């Protein structure tokens, strides 16, 4: 990722100072392209490396699943209590 930062910075600087020079503009463009590719492959490799360690994949998935199950259980328990929802019971006040 350091190479990506350096290439991107060099490309941006080159684009600013190149003026009307076609060769410097082309080199700046190549540096920016190289920085972009280095960033893309760096992120890709980092993703593969983190996927190899189950702490970063399985544990967060289990935590989300447990939280979802707890929320579902809490909402189901609230619905099963038979609490008055304010709905009409069918009884009329007029008598």
What confidence score (pLDDT) does residue 24 get? Answer: 94
Q: Which whole-number Å values give the CA distances from 44 to 3, 50, 51, 55, 82, in the listed order? A: 15, 10, 11, 18, 52
User: 77-86, pLDDT tens digit by residue?
Assistant: 877 665 555 5
The ranges assigned to domains in the chain are: 2-77
Render pLDDT for 61-95 as a digit per residue (tens, 0 to 9).
Answer: 899 999 999 999 888 887 766 555 555 555 555 54
- Return phi, psi of residue 49, to 5°: -65, -40
Quick: pLDDT tens for 3-57.
999 999 999 999 999 888 999 999 999 999 999 999 999 999 988 887 888 777 7
pTM of the model: 0.56
């Amino acid at each position: 990722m350091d190479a990506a930062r350096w290439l991107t910075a060099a490309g941006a600087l080159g684009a600013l100072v190149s003026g009307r020079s076609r060769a410097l503009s082309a080199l700046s463009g190549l540096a920016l392209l190289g920085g972009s590719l280095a960033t893309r492959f760096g992120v890709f490799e980092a993703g593969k490396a983190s996927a190899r360690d189950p702490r970063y994949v399985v544990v967060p998935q289990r935590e989300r699943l447990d939280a979802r199950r707890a929320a579902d259980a809490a909402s189901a328990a609230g619905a099963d209590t038979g609490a008055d929802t304010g709905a009409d019971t069918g009884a009329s006040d007029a008598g």
